[in-house]
Structure 1
């Protein structure tokens, strides 16, 4: 037991280093959702309202996607003590992700024993999927902690009924943290109750009491979801998917054949049939070798690209683990299998395999792999060289990810994180003392919010500026923050450039469609021009 404590402490220290090292600079900028969470927390801290003036809201309108409350309120005390900056907003997720490893160890230890628990904790510590989503402000990483905690308490309820109440509270926190579990837990909680029916049947009244408490706690969330646009994020995703499916249906209907076989086409070419087909395809893709072990999520904000969500080395151990648990821990096998099968359902509704929305698959997959490694080590316990080889291969896999993430990723994924706005704002701030006016093009999405975030603009002042833009040449609207102006002159020809539209002693950071200038800001990955820079005397 003492040895296990030392190992888990060392793993937590390693996990903290991997998740906090250079956190302010990699990822290379704060992307839209990060600045939105931070900005709303900043508004709550300074004014007691969200960015739209709503006092202490249960959900945050943000980009009209109505974000869950816990990620915002969690940031308020952090920003109060550390200020409004990139490191401060990412630190809570990094810390919570470290505690997730501890809870993962405790859960697997309870299910399968201490040794497999330690292996599972180790795999989560160096998991590329978990590390990546622990270094940005992702709600899914916070929700994963509460989800695993809820399952852990549920397992403990076998010993003491009070843990069932704690499990319900953890699941409630999961639902108040991220929208995807709202779909998953509708299926997963009944599955858990069925899986644990033997011991739960002995405490039926307490089970009913806990479920009633869970329902009562969720009433505000249910009300907000159905009557205050709380489902808007899901509705946007499903609407987009529905439009894609409608186009597919229309493309697959051949007019001549439709006239001849109208009933056949109605059966095989309709939205319902295509919905089932598309969701089934997306669901199965979540279990593909490509997604798990080869290419992963191709969105460079949410993963590296061209690398699986799990290390390829884990594949044989996953297979071994499935066999080992089925043979020796059948009841646990069914729990993990149900978890794994239910987890990607919400992500499948919205589309392709998506690292953020399917993150809840990770613990179950890692536990199978951990059991496989344990089984393998038992088989080769007398062959030291094989153990050394396994350790070496895991080290190589980890080093490959670590080097790619810290050396290459900040370059080729920079613009996926909104680096273009940060680069323009950094230049503007650096040159502030040299010019009377500084103009920053609003060509890229969220420039004004990024400016407010990086400069910790007072929220009340920000709202006044946003509601009262000033009018400059040619009726161009700009948001004026002191000497900084957010907007565009749209200098499309030399006559316009030479007409003096840019005031004297000004710096204008212009969009790439305007007249070329000698000075430019280029993208770090391919060198494409992001901004032209004009300076006037």
Structure 2
């Protein structure tokens, strides 16, 4: 009983730490509001107020977003927090942060359910802690990331799959969650198709005895896939894959087969490379934090020990399931052209974290002193979080502000005093400026859809359309400049960066400087001018 209370207390502390790391200053960090984020956020706001998205499509199965499509689940779940907290970045990111905490909880539950009695709680606590503090897990829980929601649903399904070994009636629930996860992120579609057969094969002797539950579960899963069949018939199902995959440019004949195999294996090798896992992978949206890998450098030693330990225990179902699932988690990402796209491999990183945790557990088991076994994880946790703060809390905002649209969030307040003037903001290098302003201004979705709807050139579920859309919000218009027309406008404010409004254009069009907004490094980001 005393041991159980101690375990519960430590788990509560880990959950509290995970909540803090995911919700603290969520409205400010990460800096800016990426165009993928604001697309989800405004559509959720529009659905909550009008029942349709920004193109006037009622309750879509996929959401159009700047020439592509976004899976629907995150947007629908965001309706409630945006209703409660208003049109803020905190509200828009709430779902990701909340489900990021659930990932930590389900990690503990899965290990505690599967692992052997003698060490299951210690291993489970360590796994929950390491998922809770890992750079990849914090990063994707702090921004709108459908993949993070997908991972949480997968982890929940994983847990109920394991629980169904004790209670077969739960199996359909696991299949339901697995099916729903395919509406959260594209990678989940491939993962579900491959993972479920592997799981059933490993535990086939058990499920042969409960075939009715299996059949019912398969029917439930099939029903969740019906929207995908509709989208497949309309062509929207594979649009995103066609945009990011290298399969559209393959040579003909046998050379094409060789090309696909080479590309696939090359990507697999990249994703298993220690350099990409434990060193700096860049700071763009799809990766983690600058000067850090998706894991901390010190994770490498327990990673090696954990891999060896898992291989040696391959005959045990739990270890076999995790190892066989690893390549499945990489299939989707390895079919795309990006060199290392962390967002598409969250299940893989989650599974690796479990392996790393087991390696760390084995190291701690070799230490005789109980005090050292307690103090060492605490010290490494503090050390890791200091590294993460320096990277994510300080460096990241400088590296991310260029593509996250931070200055255009500030622009909203700068333009507020000029409500009586016509304003044109150049959107050539940031297609989401108008949508950001519309979201923060709570601009009527009926009015915006009347502007955007006619700009779709085909059926809603066809990807045809201009990625450079024209937005009009109150007295503000967001589009690329057309100087032959815009230079002749009277008493108008023009806003753009130095490429949009050059010194020659200022001089030749007799523009008067109004204000400027600077980057964090002090350089000028955008300027505003008035025409005569």
Q: TM-score range by the shorter chain?
A: 0.7 to 0.9
Distance 1:105 1:222 in 2: 35
* CA-to-aligned-CA distance 1:83-133 (integer Å, 9 cap, x gap): 222111001111111111111100011112111000000001101000000
1:331 to 317, 323, 336: 317
Query: What is aligned with 1:135?
Result: 142
1:194 to 183, 191, 201: 201
User: Which moved further from structure 2: 449-458 or 377-386?
Assistant: 377-386
2:517 to 490, 514, 521: 521
| Distance verdict in 2 for CA 1:11–1:393, change over 3 Å | closer
Q: Tell me, yes or no, if the aligned pair for 1:38 and 1:89 is still in contact at 8 Å.
A: yes
Q: Tell me, yes or no, if the aligned pair for 2:21 and 2:138 is still in contact at 8 Å.
A: yes
Query: What is aligned with 1:413?
Result: 400
Pairwise CA distance, 1:480:
4.3
TM-score, scaled to structure 2:
0.87
Pairwise CA distance, 1:355:
0.9
Distance 1:213 1:487 in 2: 46
Is residue 317 of structure 2 the alignment partner of residue 321 of structure 1? no
Equivalent residue runs for 1:26-175 within 5 Å: 26-112=29-115, 113-175=120-182
SS at match of 1:357: helix
* CA-to-aligned-CA distance 1:230-280 (integer Å, 9 cap, x gap): 221112222x5533x56xx9xxxxxxxxxxxxxxxx86xx23211210111
Query: What is aligned with 2:220?
Result: 213
Is residue 456 of structure 2 the alignment partner of residue 449 of structure 1? no
| Distance verdict in 2 for CA 1:390–1:212, change over 3 Å | closer
Q: Tell me, yes or no, if the aligned pair for 1:301 and 1:413 is still in contact at 8 Å.
A: no
| Distance verdict in 2 for CA 1:478–1:320, change over 3 Å | closer
SS at match of 2:529: strand
1:287 to 272, 285, 298: 272
Structure with larger RCO (C-alpha < 8 A, sep 6+) = 2
Distance 1:77 1:383 in 2: 46
Query: What is aligned with 1:371?
Result: 358
2:11 to 8, 29, 38: 8
* CA-to-aligned-CA distance 1:303-361 (integer Å, 9 cap, x gap): 21332111111111122223334445732221111122210110010132211100111
Equivalent residue runs for 1:213-362 within 5 Å: 213-238=220-245, 242-243=248-249, 270-296=255-281, 299-300=284-285, 302-327=287-312, 330-351=316-337, 352-362=339-349
Pairwise CA distance, 1:301:
5.3
* CA-to-aligned-CA distance 1:47-95 (integer Å, 9 cap, x gap): 2122222222222223343322211110112222222221110011111
Pairwise CA distance, 1:150:
0.7
Pairwise CA distance, 1:20:
0.8
Query: What is aligned with 1:257?
Result: none
Structure whose alpha-carbon radius of gyration is higher? 1
Distance 2:113 2:30 in 1: 36
Pairwise CA distance, 1:37:
1.0
Distance 2:381 2:425 in 1: 47
Is residue 519 of structure 2 the alignment partner of residue 533 of structure 1? no
**What's the Cα RMSD here?**
2.6
Pairwise CA distance, 1:209:
2.1
1:463 to 431, 449, 452: 449
Distance 1:282 1:427 in 2: 45
Listed as ranges, the gaps of 5+ residues in structure 2 are 456-468, 507-512
* CA-to-aligned-CA distance 1:439-495 (integer Å, 9 cap, x gap): 3222221222222112110011112344689xxxxxxx9754333232455559xxx
| Distance verdict in 2 for CA 1:231–1:467, change over 3 Å | closer
| Distance verdict in 2 for CA 1:483–1:347, change over 3 Å | same
* CA-to-aligned-CA distance 1:409-440 (integer Å, 9 cap, x gap): 112211221224324334223x336x633332
Query: What is aligned with 2:415?
Result: 428
TM-score, scaled to structure 1:
0.86
| Distance verdict in 2 for CA 1:15–1:58, change over 3 Å | same
Q: Tell me, yes or no, if the aligned pair for 1:325 and 1:332 is still in contact at 8 Å.
A: no
Distance 1:490 1:52 in 2: 25
Query: What is aligned with 1:486?
Result: 478
Task: Figure out how many residues of one structure are paired with residues of the other and give that number.
Answer: 499
Q: Tell me, yes or no, if the aligned pair for 1:93 and 1:142 is still in contact at 8 Å.
A: yes
User: Which moved further from structure 2: 274-283 or 324-333?
Assistant: 324-333
Q: Tell me, yes or no, if the aligned pair for 2:290 and 2:395 is still in contact at 8 Å.
A: no
